[in-house]
Amino acid sequence: MILLNTHKLEKGFSGRTLFRDVSFGIGEGERVGLVGPNGAGKSTLLRILAGLSEADSGNVSRKRGLRIGFMDQTPTFSEGATVMSSILEKLEDPNEGIAKAMQIIAHLNLGAIEDKPVEELSGGWRKRVALARELATEPELLLLDEPTNHLDVSGILWLEEYLRQAPYAVMMITHDRLFLQRVANRILDLDPRNPNHLLSVNGDYAMFVEAKEHELKALQRHEKVQRNQLRREVEWLSRGSIARQTKQSARIEAAADLKESVESLKAQNRPRALDIEFGQAEHSPQKLMDAEGLQKGYDGRTLFDKLDLLITKKTRLALLGDNGSGKSTLIKILLGQEKPDAGTIKRADPLVYAHFEQNRDTLDYSKSVLKNLCPEGDYVHVQGQAMHVRSYLDRFLFPGIKAELPVSKLSGGEQARLRLAQLMMQSSQVLVLDEPTNDLDTETLEVLEGALQDYNGAVILVTHDRYFMDAVADNILAFPPSELENPNLEKFASYFQWETWYREQNEKVRQKMRAKNSGGGTSEKKLRMSFKEKFELENIEGVVMKLEHEIARLTELSQDPTILSNHKKLNEVLKDLGKQQSELEKKYARWQDLEARK
């Protein structure tokens, strides 16, 4: 059943058309990924679908009584609201909804904080509360704007699994390519280069990439054909014609229309001119930081202990762990902004670093884009060279009037681009990037990946974008789950190697909890189970082990260069991997249920 249809939607902003002629439908059970370049109007489109904004023209038709849940990119909550009151606030009768709210709280692991004020929670937990608030309304269509922003990797893994099993339709804006690959079964690409601004692909992200490449090549071929046709028409007109005047006038008008069409295609096919290049300090020793036996803790909890870490000019290190695990603390210690409880660290003298902060604190949101880069005068200094500020802003896709906009009016992706523009004006030996990928579109992410690979200095990276992490980092330093109470950090060569380890650690936690809860049940209790259930319990561990081995095999296969270069084969492997992971989670839940019944 079709839940929602749009017909020829058009929307503009500040005299610029965001999109036009946008038509599509969303059916039951669809998990739609909405992608496209920053500034194309994805968030605006989502708000129109939710009924929170109006299109300039066109219409949205919804199934009668359709219940829509909408989670904004940055959720807002009532002042002083607790987790529980926030979840109940959208219900017509909160008293009747308490039972439903309690189920959702248990499902999203919010029980320990249900009475806590939301304003005291981290961004990741706020996202869970915002999601719970929408789920309490029992939506038929759930709209999510950048749901993975501010979630740690374990939270993203949880959300992937949750949305794959969701009993309702989902439409989400996200630039997390692995998240899209694992969750979405349809991709909508909102891009002015597409015919009617929209490309719809039934399938996962890998299938979309292939279709998008085909579409762009088709546009380029179309431009070439029309260019050749225009050239012939111009040659004919320049020679003069002995044909009737009316025929010549008609051809002149047709040539003018053709010229306009060629210019439009040229604009569509013009590659985005984003240009990122990080400057290296003049003098950079081989060894930049050398830490031995670092130890740090807060409030009786040890974050890490006996940590040895060497940072050289060729280091590409990613820090991975849950929110609050100690990633930011370790960065501050490495940069000399905080002292360790034990251990020593030697740094290059002087240590010259550039720091991309997660909250982009160096941006002045009240000032214009231009004034954030150049408070006075017309020139900025980039890696020792003077450059006109507007020419520099063109490199970051802030042309003309866009440079005059206050930063507060920019999208999240545009703010991130501006912060990168500030960062490029610095020379450094070490780049420290704390969540630089939030809100950036895929094209910008690919340019940033290339810039970091070309940078001739050390890179220390914190990001929730697993694809980006694997493309940039060749070493991962992982903080273990807090439930293990293990202060020893683990090192990995790739994200997928970490993911296999992480699932194993989670299973250890489950086994520990099962052992604690079982309390050594008697044989009489075991006899109360049916013979079929008893047989299932006795054999389920073997089934789980087989699934884990298959997941490890598929994970390794997905990193094989021959597979990565074959979109069709990669798609098959990733689909199979997702099915096996989903089955494993179900078996874990079943195992826990059977153990509880002993």
Q: Domain map of the chain by residue range?
A: 2-210, 216-269, 279-492, 519-597
192: preceding bond cis by omega (within 30 degrees): no
Residue 314 has what DSSP assignment? T
Q: Tell me the CA distances in angstroms from 174 to 9, 47, 179, 380, 446, one per residue in order.
A: 21, 15, 8, 33, 15
Residue 319 half-sphere exposure, CB side, CA atoms within 13 Å? 22
Q: Is 456 helix (H, G, I), strand (E, B) or coil?
A: coil
Contact 6, 25 (CB under 8 A): yes
Taking CA 143 as the corner, what is the angle to CA 150 and CA 48, rounded to the nearest 5 degrees? 115
Give CA–CA dist 575/333, Å, rounded.
Answer: 41
Query: 519-597 falls under which CATH superfamily?
Result: Valyl-tRNA synthetase, C-terminal domain (1.10.287.380)
**Strands across the sheet with 301-312, in order?**
301-312, 287-298, 342-347
Task: Look at residue 523 in the predicted model and tell me its pLDDT.
Answer: 40
Task: Look at residue 42 in the predicted model and tell me its pLDDT.
Answer: 92
Residue type, 109: N
Question: Following DSSP, what letter does each residue of 357-392 receive, concatenated?
Answer: -TT-TT--TTSBHHHHH-SSSSEEEETTEEEEHHHH
- 2-210 and 279-492: same fold? yes
Contact 71, 164 (CB under 8 A): no
The β-bridge partners of 458 are 430
Structure tokens at 340: 């360790």
By C-alpha distance, which of 130, 113, 118, 121 is closest to 74?
130
pTM for this structure? Answer: 0.72
Contact 190, 22 (CB under 8 A): yes
By C-alpha distance, which of 511, 497, 471 is closest to 552?
497
Task: Look at residue 362 in the predicted model and tell me its pLDDT.
Answer: 86
Give pLDDT tens digits for 328-343: 899 999 999 999 999 9
Q: Is 520 helix (H, G, I), strand (E, B) or coil?
A: coil
Contact 522, 598 (CB under 8 A): no
Give pLDDT tens digits for 527-548: 456 666 777 787 888 888 888 8
User: Which parts of the chain sit beneath pLDDT 50?
Assistant: 242-244, 265, 520-527
Give CA–CA dist 386/398, Å, rounded.
Answer: 18
Write down the residue that tokens 């749009």 correspond to.
Answer: 6
Q: Please state the φ and ψ torsions of residue 432, each to the nearest 5 degrees.
A: -110, 115
By C-alpha distance, which of 50, 23, 45, 47 is closest to 35?
45
Give CA–CA dist 194/367, Å, rounded.
Answer: 34
Q: Tell me the CA distances in angstroms from 564 to 272, 376, 572, one per residue in order.
A: 26, 48, 11
Write down the residue that tokens 């940078």 correspond to.
Answer: 455
The β-bridge partners of 213 are none
The β-bridge partners of 354 are 431
Q: Tell me the CA distances in angstroms from 550 to 206, 346, 540, one per residue in order.
A: 22, 44, 15
Task: Look at residue 522 in the predicted model and tell me its pLDDT.
Answer: 41
Contact 206, 571 (CB under 8 A): yes
| CATH, domain 279-492, list 3.20.20.70, 3.40.50.10490, 3.30.70.3420, 3.40.50.300 | 3.40.50.300
The alpha carbon of residue 376 and the mean position of all alpha carbons in its chain are separated, in whole angstroms, by 35
Residues sharing a CB contact under 8 Å with residue 312, sequence separation 6 or more, in sequence order: 286, 287, 288, 458
Task: Look at residue 524 in the predicted model and tell me its pLDDT.
Answer: 40
Q: Which helix (H) or strand (E) holds 575?
A: helix 567-597
By C-alpha distance, which of 34, 35, 43, 49 is closest to 13?
43
Q: Tell me the CA distances in angstroms from 355 to 336, 460, 538, 583, one per residue in order.
A: 13, 10, 53, 41
Give all strands (DSSP E) within 299-376, no chain letters.
301-312, 316-320, 342-347, 353-356
480: preceding bond cis by omega (within 30 degrees): no
Contact 419, 447 (CB under 8 A): no
- Residue 15 Ramachandran class (φ > 0 left, ψ -120 to 50 alpha, else beta): left
Q: Which top CATH class is 2-210?
A: alpha beta
Task: Look at residue 317 in the predicted model and tell me its pLDDT.
Answer: 95
